[in-house]
Amino acid sequence: MNITVKSDPGHHIIEDMWLGVTVASQGPAGRVLVCAHRYTQVLWSGSEDQRRMVGKCYVRGNDLELDSSDDWQTYHNEMCNSNTDYLETGMCQLGTSGGFTQNTVYFGAPGAYNWKGNSYMIQRKEWDLSEYSYKDPEDQGNLYIGYTVQVGSAILHPKNITIVTGAPRHRHMGAVFLLSQEAGGDLRRRQVLEGSQVGAYFGSAIALADLNNDGWQDLLVGAPYYFQRKEEVGGAVYVFMNQAGTSFPAHPSLLLHGPSGSAFGLSVASIGDINQDGFQDIAVGAPFEGLGKVYIYHSSSKGLLRQPQQVIHGEKLGLPGLATFGYSLSGQMDVDENFYPDLLVGSLSDHIVLLRARPVINIVHKTLVARPAVLDPALCTATSCVQVELCFAYNQSAGNPNYRRNITLAYTLEADRDRRPPRLRFAGSESAVFHGFFSMPEMRCQKLELLLMDNLRDKLRPIIISMNYSLPLRMPDRPRLGLRSLDAYPILNQAQALENHTEVQFQKECGPDNKCESNLQMRAAFVSEQQQKLSRLQYSRDVRKLLLSINVTNTRTSERSGEDAHEALLTLVVPPALLLSSVRPPGACQANETIFCELGNPFKRNQRMELLIAFEVIGVTLHTRDLQVQLQLSTSSHQDNLWPMTLTLLVDYTLQTSLSMVNHRLQSFFGGTVMGESGMKTVEDVGSPLKYEFQPDPTLTMRQGPRRGVLSYPWLSEPAWLCPLPHGLCPKAHLRS
């Protein structure tokens, strides 16, 4: 850009004035604003020069050339007075920020008034020109008001302009000022939004966008030096939702965070509707995260979405020397005229990257149909049981009627994805998964056949057939000069569900709603071999068998319909003393650690079933007080009153013992010296012993644990013992088992 001004160190200095620190466009065919905030005027006091860094902004045409007939371009735009010092506007650094509307140009000057800062606006109405400025009433410097500035309507008034300007050093935590126009060229403060952390630089970046399509501009504020050490957060963006033009809430409705050390939020920009879903999108720069990253956020009727839709990595661009990617952002311009706004990303490494938006494909008229919807397995053939038909059509989200590219979708169909094993498989395969491709717009529909798996058990729950699809990534052709059309490289609308489901029900006798509500009921009792109910078990060694009688029904009552009970199962938990011997009817039950009895699949309406289960009694002891068996009915049909039943059988233990005397001839001798009881010191002093030998019946089982015998014999009182025991005890040496 030719600025026509030559360097003259005696009057002004243009070297290192940072031309381009702010660049803004009025839109297609509009004007361009370019600022140099370090432009310096030189004043002389005698032989001493005084330098005033007032800054300067230029307005040029869309071709960056000067049109002398355009008043916008010939106007000086000098809002600061270089004849004053830093306490006024002599060091205002005009152009640190700035921008355009259709009839307004505005600037930020954070160096004015001892770096308290200021914001300026020039508004044109036909031939009239009005200048506005804001001077904060607080007597405090170093606020940096005007560090960044945005202007727009539908902020605090549906039509009138509101100036939004950042002051990142306001009270050390930063702030954003919302200003309105007043008569006489003043800007009046309407609201101040303050930061929440010292040094976060809240207000160093701001953006306006109607995030929820309510007709009012919402506000996003960057705080790149915000941090949370424990959470490893570095940088934040505050999202304030407009309260229908009355004000903004003091606290953000959403706070976005970046990783530690990333300076997330150093740049924030409204980039337009890049996916053409009707909602504005936002870009956030994190220039110190690696080589720099740019986060893309979408919005919805509820506001900005918390998770980024896309993260663009600077290191993946393949540009040698690129660093601090995302330091600055500019959007809302459709550079390649493909109906999608593009994004320009700046850096501090002499690189500017143009990120162009690819066409977004909406999948419309998407159908997945399974026939029959209600399956009777008896009607299946060897080649088909279920037929699935899938159909696709698409349009471009921007609504370009001329976009008719060949699109190939990759899709995957899967039956019973959440069940193992699945109940369906694709014809010609043993797999329940099918991978295919669908070409549009030529192809409209595809049909696939599925078969039932063998040994099908679950006929109650529907078979869910799911489909997901994607657009395979196509690599670009060899690069050529000029902008390549991106029409051949579309992406799918990520806001659409990329998965569909349909279901196949089984034919069931379950009423018009096809929902089976069973009424399983059970009666159970221990019985004798004569089918008489037992309340107690008279156990002896002759008892070998115990019978359990179970009666299961599924009949209608006033409360329950008694429809088919699918996968009806009876589970029994028995004590170790019982061992399954037999079941009637044969094969109805299987035993492991638990006994399972399959009642039917389904156990039909009005069906009855009687089970007679025989147990071997193998572990009853003298200490066994009762036998408990727990019974539990279950079904995959709907029934919520299937509680466990516990049967308890008391045990009376009868022990039949038999002892016989081995030696029936007893001999003893009487006489000798007469002694009193106190004089007896040994067994021999008592006299001649009586010896008895007893033998237990060898056929008596000994598995009942330790035995204890009680011996009774004649016992006469003192002073004459008929058969005394020394000290009243029986010596262990005289006992043998």
> For residue range 645-656, what is the model confidence (pLDDT) as tens digits?
999 999 987 766
* CA 613 – CA 589 distance, rounded (Å): 9
pLDDT for residue 736: 47
- The DSSP code for 175 is E
Adjacency order of strands within the sheet including 578-584:
520-527, 545-554, 607-617, 578-584
How far is C-alpha 434 from the chain's CA centre?
27
Given a contact cutoff of 8 angstroms between Cβ atoms, the answer to whether 360 and 489 are in contact is no
* Nearby residues of 67 by Cβ (< 8 Å), 6 or more positions away: 60, 61, 73
Token pair, residue 147, equals 């560090």
Q: Which domains does the chain have, with CATH numbers?
A: 10-194 (2.130.10.130), 198-357 (2.130.10.130), 360-473+489-506 (2.60.40.1460), 520-653 (2.60.40.1510)
* Nearby residues of 322 by Cβ (< 8 Å), 6 or more positions away: 291, 292, 314, 315, 347, 349, 351, 353
Other residues' Cβ atoms within 10 Å of the Cβ of residue 224: 28
Long-range contacts of 22-25 (CB under 8 A, 24+ apart): 22/57, 22/95, 22/96, 22/97, 22/98, 22/99, 23/330, 24/98, 24/99, 24/100, 25/100, 25/330, 25/333
pLDDT for residue 496: 85
Given a contact cutoff of 8 angstroms between Cβ atoms, the answer to whether 502 and 368 are in contact is yes
Given a contact cutoff of 8 angstroms between Cβ atoms, the answer to whether 568 and 458 are in contact is no
3-state DSSP assignment of residue 678: helix
Phi and psi angles of residue 344, each rounded to the nearest 5 degrees, phi first: -105, 130
Extract the residue ranges of the chain whose pLDDT is less than 70.
477-481, 655-674, 676-677, 683, 686-688, 690, 692, 697-737
* CA 254 – CA 256 distance, rounded (Å): 6
Given a contact cutoff of 8 angstroms between Cβ atoms, the answer to whether 359 and 369 are in contact is no
Place of tokens 């009881």: 677
Q: Which of 343, 339, 278 is nearest to 487 (CA)?
A: 339
pTM over 0.95: no
pLDDT for residue 629: 96
Place of tokens 């492991």: 592
Token pair, residue 293, equals 């990253």
**Which amino acid is residue 540, in one-letter code?**
S
Reported residue count of the chain is 737
Q: Is residue 119 within a helix (H) or strand (E), and if so which, with residue range?
A: strand 118-125
pLDDT for residue 267: 97
Q: Which of 546, 614, 617, 610 is nearest to 583 (CA)?
A: 614
Other residues' Cβ atoms within 10 Å of the Cβ of residue 150: 23
Other residues' Cβ atoms within 10 Å of the Cβ of residue 355: 19
pLDDT for residue 737: 44
* Nearby residues of 329 by Cβ (< 8 Å), 6 or more positions away: 267, 268, 269, 271, 283, 285, 294, 343, 344, 345, 346
Given a contact cutoff of 8 angstroms between Cβ atoms, the answer to whether 517 and 561 are in contact is yes
* Nearby residues of 36 by Cβ (< 8 Å), 6 or more positions away: 14, 17, 18, 19, 20, 21, 55, 56, 57, 95
pLDDT for residue 730: 52
